[in-house]
Chains A and B, each alone.
Chain A
Amino acid sequence: MNNGSEMRRIVTSWVIVSVIGDLLWWFLVGPHIPPGNMTESAHWNQFDFNILAVTALPVVFMVWIWLGYAVVKWRDKPGVPEPVGGAAAQASRGVQTAWITITSVVVISAAIYGTIALIGDHGSGGGEGPNPVWAPAGTIAANNAALAGKATWSPAGSQPLVVQVIAQQWKFTYRYPAFGGMETDRLVLPVNTDVVFDVTSLDVIHDFWAYQLSVKADANPGVNNVAFAETRQTGQFMVRCDELCGIWHGAMINSGRVLTKTGFMTWATKTEAQNAQNTKYLPPFAWTYTPDANGAAGGLYPDGNVTPYSPSEVYGAKQPTK
Chain B
Amino acid sequence: MTMSGRLGTVLGLFVVAVGLIIWVLLGLLTPGTPGGVVNFVGSSAAGQPVNMTIQTVGSIGFGNHPTWVSYLVKTPQGKWIHSTTWQLPANTQVNVTILQYDSGSPLRNQQWGQVTGTTGNVASLNGTSFSTYNSYGGNGVGHTFTVPSIGLSVPLVGVNGNLTLCGVAPCSLKQPHNTITFSFKTPAKVGEYHWQCFVPCGLGYLYGNGGPMSTQGYMGGFLDVVQQ
Please give me the residue from chain A that is nearest to B58 by CB atom: A297
Binds B, one of A40-48, A150-158, A168-176: A168-176
**Per-residue interface assignment for chain B, residues 208 to 228, with 1 indicating a CB less than 8 Å from any chain A CB and 0 otherwise:** 110001111000100000000
* A90 CB–B CB distance under 8 Å: no
CA distance A293 to B208 in the complex (A): 7
**Per-residue interface assignment for chain A, residues 192 to 210, with 1 indicating a CB less than 8 Å from any chain B CB and 0 otherwise:** 0000000000111000000
**Cβ A183 vs Cβ B111 within 8 A:** yes
**Cβ A315 vs Cβ B108 within 8 A:** yes
**Cβ A203 vs Cβ B110 within 8 A:** no
**Cβ B215 vs Cβ A247 within 8 A:** yes
**Cβ A203 vs Cβ B215 within 8 A:** no
**Cβ B109 vs Cβ A298 within 8 A:** no
* A3 CB–B CB distance under 8 Å: no
* Size of B's binding interface in residues, CB under 8 A: 40
Assuming the A-B contacts A185-B151, A292-B108, A316-B106, are A277 and B131 also in contact, with contact meaning beta carbons closer than 8 angstroms in the complex?
Answer: yes
**Cβ A168 vs Cβ B109 within 8 A:** yes
For A291, A292, A297, which residue has the most chain B Cβ atoms within 10 angstroms?
Answer: A297
CA distance A272 to B111 in the complex (A): 13
Which residues, 126 to 145 on B, are CB-close (under 8 Å) to A?
Answer: 131-132, 134-136
Please give me the residue from chain A that is nearest to B208 by CB atom: A295
* B203 CB–A CB distance under 8 Å: yes
- What chain B residues lie within 8 Å of A298 (beta carbons)? 203
> B209 to chain A: closest CB distance in Å?
5
**Per a CB cutoff under 8 Å, which of B134, B146, B151, B209 touches A281?**
B134
**Cβ B110 vs Cβ A297 within 8 A:** no
**Per a CB cutoff under 8 Å, which of B109, B113, B134, B204 touches A299?**
B204
- What chain A residues lie within 8 Å of B209 (beta carbons)? 169, 203-204, 246, 295
- What chain A residues lie within 8 Å of B216 (beta carbons)? 247
> A67 to chain B: closest CB distance in Å?
36
* B202 CB–A CB distance under 8 Å: yes
**Per a CB cutoff under 8 Å, which of B108, B132, B134, B148 touches A296?**
B108
Query: Do most interface residues of chain A lie in helix, strand or loop, or is the interface mixed?
Result: loop
Assuming the A-B contacts A278-B132, A317-B106, are A171 and B200 also in contact, with contact meaning beta carbons closer than 8 angstroms in the complex?
Answer: no
Assuming the A-B contacts A170-B196, A203-B207, A247-B216, are A281 and B201 also in contact, with contact meaning beta carbons closer than 8 angstroms in the complex?
Answer: no
**Cβ A278 vs Cβ B110 within 8 A:** yes
Assuming the A-B contacts A169-B213, A247-B220, A296-B200, are A275 and B114 also in contact, with contact meaning beta carbons closer than 8 angstroms in the complex?
Answer: yes
> B176 to chain A: closest CB distance in Å?
16
Assuming the A-B contacts A281-B134, A281-B136, are A316 and B203 also in contact, with contact meaning beta carbons closer than 8 angstroms in the complex?
Answer: no
CA distance A283 to B110 in the complex (A): 9
* B181 CB–A CB distance under 8 Å: no
- What chain B residues lie within 8 Å of A91 (beta carbons)? none
**Cβ A254 vs Cβ B203 within 8 A:** no
**Cβ B203 vs Cβ A278 within 8 A:** no
* B101 CB–A CB distance under 8 Å: no
**Per a CB cutoff under 8 Å, which of B111, B135, B207 touches A173?**
B111
> B224 to chain A: closest CB distance in Å?
14
CA distance A19 to B207 in the complex (A): 56
Instruction: Pick 28 A–B contacts, CB within 8 A, sort by A.
Output: A168-B108, A169-B207, A169-B213, A170-B148, A202-B109, A203-B209, A251-B148, A251-B194, A254-B149, A278-B114, A278-B132, A281-B136, A282-B111, A291-B207, A292-B200, A293-B206, A295-B200, A295-B206, A296-B105, A296-B201, A297-B203, A298-B203, A299-B204, A316-B109, A316-B110, A317-B106, A317-B108, A319-B136
* Extra A-B contacts (16), CB below 8 Å, given A247-B216, A248-B194, A316-B108: A170-B196, A171-B198, A203-B200, A204-B209, A253-B149, A278-B114, A278-B132, A281-B113, A281-B135, A281-B136, A293-B206, A295-B207, A296-B199, A296-B208, A297-B208, A315-B109
